Amino acid sequence: MELLLVLGIPFVGGIALGLWGHRESAPELNSAMSLATFLAASALTARIIADGPVLLWDDLFFVDSFNVFLVALTAFVAFTTSLFSRPYMRIELALGKLTPNRLRLYHSMFQMFTFTMLLVLLTNNVGILWVAMEAATLTTVLLVSLYRTPASLEAAWKYFILCGVGLAQALFGTILLYFAAEKVLGGGGNALLWTHLYEVKGQLEPTVLALAFVFLLVGYGTKVGLAPLHNWLPDAHAEGPTPVSAVLSGLLLNVALYAVVRTKVLVEGALGTHFAGNLMMGFGLLSVVLAAFLLSRQTDAKRLFAYSSVEHMGLVTFAFGIGGAVATFAGLLHMTVHSLTKSAIFFTVGHAAQKSGTQEMAGIRGLIESNPTIGWGLMLGSLAILGMPPFGVFASEFMILTVTMHEQPWATPFLLAALGVAFAAIFGKVQPMVFGTATARRLPHRPMLLPVFVHLAIVLLLGLYIPPYLADWYRQAAALIG
């Protein structure tokens, strides 16, 4: 029942907002839909915590501690983003960057995007997962190109082509997986169900599965933004509307990584070696290092934080690649705190860019003077994402580093150097944006900055104290992935 609501509300919401059109109340309706989805997701989470993993509707959907945690996170960030986007998109409309019709497209696609992400997370069928991931790409293409400026069209086209090619490879990987599974499980729909695959993972043909994993990793890795397949990511983040950057960075990357991690568990089980983990460590480390060195060259605020997302997703991929209880725990925690912190940062950066009339960092100055809330939000968010204690990012990065020293000591200097370079680059750029002489104008609507501080407060809490039930929950999920 909860499941029906979790998937049904955003789907119906997408259609309803498309039909409702641009009324004065459309943004409120959008937030209400997202709130309802979040409540349904909370109910589902409560049920899973109480009853353990469930299979629903003829095994079509499968919920365990790993995906329910991502479902809750996705629904929560989607809800806060919809709150933030209410004044933000009204300001964009007032500034003439959008037409009412495009706002209608935005609201409809926002809900559809939430729906496709939740479908990716909840489905038990690897094929349906692919279909939903492709659908998520299609909806976000429309969101990225919302402004119809030359740059946004280019970003959307690049995103479309690169992710389309990436997903085509993931489909080939899925075909290979089905090919291996069919031998053991027989034809028909059952051979692509995660639950059935996990039961027989020891019997699947290792050669085929290894090849399938390479294709799936490259395919879904394109969407995670792993270097060297990350090219679409900074463009899409910089040229799309800010709420879209926030959900892309905070949610879509996590969802794509979820697909990779699920496959990794399966393939490690079939191969009995650490092949999949090694590949993930390689891609992860490359992303961390490459992104860290590209950070210092950015001039656009949203591009800067897009590269920071590449860095952090690389770090999470690396952590899942190491495997084992502690690294996986750290990876899950880092996914959570990164998604909360990064969306909070995008909220502040978005409003800062609106106030200054430019996304170029050179044009954004003295936020603390013109609007202390935005200034402090950006400063605290940046400190949090850079791994300063006592924020949660510090806790997860610290865990990842200690495990690395223990398990893969060779990688430690690379990670430390990259984190240091990233710190210097981001802090050096954010500092003059926050302090310095103000260059801002007045906005026609009051910005909604409550989500920023809610997110940062949760991240702070996770850094100081993880409630026991939450830690348990992470541990269960880590044991599943292990």
Partner 1 sequence: MNLPLHAQLINLFAALLLLLAFAMLTQRRIRSLINLFALQGFVLVLSTAVVAYSTDQLHLYVSAGVTLGLKVLLLPWIMHHLIRALNVRWDVETTIDIPSTMLIGIVLVIFAFNLAAPISQFAGTITKSTLGIATACILLAFLMMITRRKAVSQVIGFLAMENGLFFAATSATYGMPMVVELGIALDVLVGTLIFGVFFFHIRETFESLDIHHLEKLKER
- Local structure of 173: helix, strand or coil: helix
Q: Among 125, 222, 308, 382, which residue sits at the site for partner 1 (rule: CB under 8 A)? A: 125
Least CB distance to partner 1 at residue 125 (A):
7
Size of the site for partner 1 (CB under 8 A): 50
Cβ of residue 72: shortest distance to partner 1, in angstroms? 26
200 DSSP β-pair partners: none
Establish if 158 lies at the interface with partner 1 (CB under 8 A).
yes
Alpha-carbon distance of 106 to 112, in angstroms, equals 10
- With b meaning 16 or more CB within 10 Å and e meaning fewer, what string describes 302-320? bbbbbbbbbbbbbbbbbbb
Q: Which of 150, 186, 413, 468 binds partner 1 (CB under 8 A)?
A: 150
Rounded Cα distance, 19 and 108, in Å: 9
Task: Establish if 99 lies at the interface with partner 1 (CB under 8 A).
Answer: no
For the CB of residue 200, give the shortest distance to partner 1 in the complex, in Å: 16
Q: Which stretch binds partner 1 (CB under 8 A): 23-31, 172-180, 382-390, 469-477?
A: 172-180
Site string for partner 1, 190-229 (x = CB under 8 A): -xx------------x-xx--x------------------
Single out the segment in contact with partner 1 by CB under 8 A; choices: 72-80, 168-176, 336-344, 392-400: 168-176
203 CB neighbour count, 10 Å cutoff: 13
Does position 271 interact with partner 1 (CB under 8 A)? The reply is no
Three-class secondary structure assignment of 277-327:
HHHHHHHHHHHHHHHHHHHCCCCEHHHHHHHHHHHHHHHHHHHHHHCCHHH
| Residue burial 60-92, b: 16+ Cβ < 10 Å; e: rest | ebbbbbbbbbbbbbbbbbbbbbbbbbbbbbbbb
Interacting residue with partner 1 among 36, 216, 294, 403 (CB under 8 A): 294
3-state DSSP call for residue 404? helix
Contact pick of 59, 134, 369, 407 for partner 1 (by CB under 8 A)? 134
Q: Which is nearer to partner 1, 91 or 290 (CB)?
A: 290
Among 148, 360, 406, 416, binds partner 1 (CB under 8 A): 148
CB of 147 to partner 1, least distance (A): 11
CB-CB contact of 377 with 347 (8 Å): yes
- Measured between alpha carbons, how far is 368 from 436 in angstroms, rounded to an integer? 8
CB of 5 to partner 1, least distance (A): 22
Of 324, 318, 450, 312, which Cα lies nearest the Cα of 392? 312
The CA-CA-CA angle for residues 396, 248, 11, to 5°, reads 120
Interacting residues with partner 1 (CB under 8 A) = 125, 127-128, 130-131, 134-135, 138, 141-142, 145, 148-151, 153-158, 160-161, 164-165, 168, 171-172, 174-176, 178-180, 182-183, 187-189, 191-192, 205, 207-208, 211, 235, 239, 294, 297, 299
